[in-house]
Amino acid sequence: MKIAIFSHHKFEQPYLEKANLGHHQLSYFSTNLNISTAGLAQGHEVASLFVNDDASAPVLEKLYELGIRYLALRSAGYNHVDLQKAKELGMQIAYVPEYSPYAIAEHTVALMLALNRKIVRANNRVKELNFSLDGLTGFDMHGKTVGILGLGKIGVIVTRILHGFGCKILAFDMREDPELKEKYGIEYADVKTICEHADIITLHLPLIPQTRYIIGKGQLNRMKKGVMLINTSRGGLLHTKEVIKALKKGRIGYLGLDVYEEESGLFFEDHSEEDILQDDMISRLMTFKNVLITSHQAFLTDTALANIADTTFNSINQWEKGGQPSTAL
């Protein structure tokens, strides 16, 4: 099959080539998929999309006109795809439901530790031959209350790691798991209660209408002064403008982000040659010393990249045989 791979990055190509085994014809496009770039898919049967590609209704209609009948998502998230329109057009879609929950969970805890112990600031000081410890005081993770919003596979692994640190775990999820409660001493609570009592809050929810801006002005005002807030899930879970206000007031003491609600067209790209960053919100976030931002790299491990590539091509191979992949949406 002829496959148009949008939002291609150098770091993933070796894994895609290995998974393909030279079987399919691959065309790599570094540009994001949108209504202006959809024409690149002409002559292909499959379009492979990454997390920040635009698969809205107009784009899907354009792809269909060009002969695309299959969409192979290289991501677990699919909120960027108009599933209803795809169904109307008869386009088949597959995604990667799981690639490495350990990669995301470990990066989440890495952000916590780096913020807490001010690792980046300390390293920068040492490089300037400044060995002073003033302003670098952190806190013991042991004994702290951590609120985990979302106990899917990633949230459970974060729970296991933090339980090992000796943290008390409050959790919000659609269902309670008696085994997790017994094994890790989890206390289930609503979002309001978690915001009121947690020293650290970490988000591991999908982005759906019910969870968009789940952390906004109201919940931020309920949080402990100096709370640590971590988001490695979906940018739209946080109301960024309200988060900036909370940082200015000192309500948020530490903020760790691997995702950002306006990251499309910004993350995954090199903007270092630009004179002026056009995004005012992220520019403001970058001025705070207690904010640590990574550009959607939590998934970026060799294990995860291999699993994403393997799952993607397993789905495509099933389509080629006339079958329905187990990862179909």
Residue 329: the pLDDT is 93
Question: Domain check: are 56 and 188 in the same one?
Answer: no
pLDDT of residue 276: 75
Task: Print the domain residue range for 89.
Answer: 2-99+302-320
296 is known as an active-site residue: yes
Q: Which two tokens stand for residue 62?
A: 């354009």
pLDDT for residue 264: 80
CA 280 from centre of chain = 21
Pairing of strands 291-293, 252-257: parallel
Which contiguous run of DSSP H or E holds residue 249? helix 240-249
* Active-site residue identified among 74, 80, 239, 296: 296
Q: Compute the distance between CA of residue 12 and CA of residue 5 in angstroms, rounded to an integer.
A: 11
The mean per-residue pLDDT over the stretch 298-313 comes to 97
Q: Mean pLDDT throughout 259-270?
A: 87
What are the E-state strand segments in the chain?
Answer: 2-5, 25-28, 46-49, 70-73, 92-94, 145-149, 168-172, 187-188, 200-203, 227-231, 252-257, 291-293
Assess if residue 160 is contained within a domain.
yes
Q: Give the lowest-confidence range in 67-76, 267-276, 302-311.
A: 267-276
Q: What angle do CA 47, 49, 215 make, to 5 degrees?
A: 150
Least confident of 65-69, 102-106, 138-142, 271-275: 271-275
Residue 74 annotated in active site: no
Helix residue ranges, H only, 90-177: 101-116, 119-127, 153-165
Examine the domain organization and report whether 42 and 130 are in the same domain. Answer: no
Distances in Å between the alpha carbon of 219 and those of 63, 67, 115, 201? 41, 46, 22, 11
What's the whole-model pTM score? 0.91
Total domains in the fold of the chain: 2
**pLDDT tens figures, 202-255:** 999 999 999 999 999 999 999 999 999 999 999 999 999 999 999 999 999 999
Select which of 12, 45, 242, 263 is catalytic.
263
Q: What is the mean pLDDT of residues 173-189?
A: 95
- Report the percent of the chain where pLDDT is more than 90: 93
Task: Indicate whether 326 belongs to any domain.
Answer: no
Residue 236: what are its φ and ψ, rounded to 5°?
Answer: -70, 0
Rounded distance between C-alpha atoms, residue 51 and residue 28, angstroms: 16
* pLDDT at residue number 11: 95
Answer yes or no: do 139 and 83 share one domain: no
Same domain, residue pair 137 and 32: no
Position 245 scores a pLDDT of 98
- Of the residues 8, 80, 234, 239, only one is catalytic, namely 234
Rounded-to-integer distance, Cα 303 and Cα 309, Å: 10
Annotation says 24 is catalytic: no
Question: For the segment 32-89, what is each residue's pLDDT rounded down to a tens digit?
Answer: 999 999 999 999 999 999 988 999 999 999 999 999 999 999 998 898 999 999 999 9
> Residue 325 domain-assigned?
no
